[in-house]
Amino acid sequence: MAKKEVANGLILHSDQVFQYTSHGFSKLTKSYGILSSMSSPGTPLDNAYAENFFSILKTECLYRQKPKSNKEARFLVDEYINIYNYHRIQLKTKLTPYELRCQS
């Protein structure tokens, strides 16, 4: 599967740090069909969902496994994201994230 097929429709939410507001980054994301979404200045709560996910990822995956290389870390993160999206039932909804998205 090509990268464009994987990324098409993806929304990248970030703050307004210069790396994400640069022309080069904008051009790159557009070339992959990635929609950019940025929080307004001074509104850190916009990133709460992403911050929560990364906290869970670190706690449930990386801190427990303690990868010994970048390659191993990438593998563990890919594996964990698959489990998180398709198998890990969320307490609040009693569904996996995939099941919840399918309902929308």
The bridge status of strand 11-14 relative to strand 35-38 is: parallel
Separation between Cα atoms, residue 87 and residue 99, nearest integer Å: 10
What are the structural domain ranges in the chain?
Answer: 3-38, 47-103
End-to-end CA distance of the chain: 25
pTM over 0.95: no
Measured between alpha carbons, how far is 54 from 89 in angstroms, rounded to an integer?
17
pLDDT digits 0-9 by tens, 48-86: 777 888 899 999 999 999 999 999 999 999 999 999 999
pLDDT band at 28 (very low <50, low <70, confident <90, very high): confident
Residue 42 is predicted with a pLDDT of 65
Higher pLDDT, 55 or 7: 55
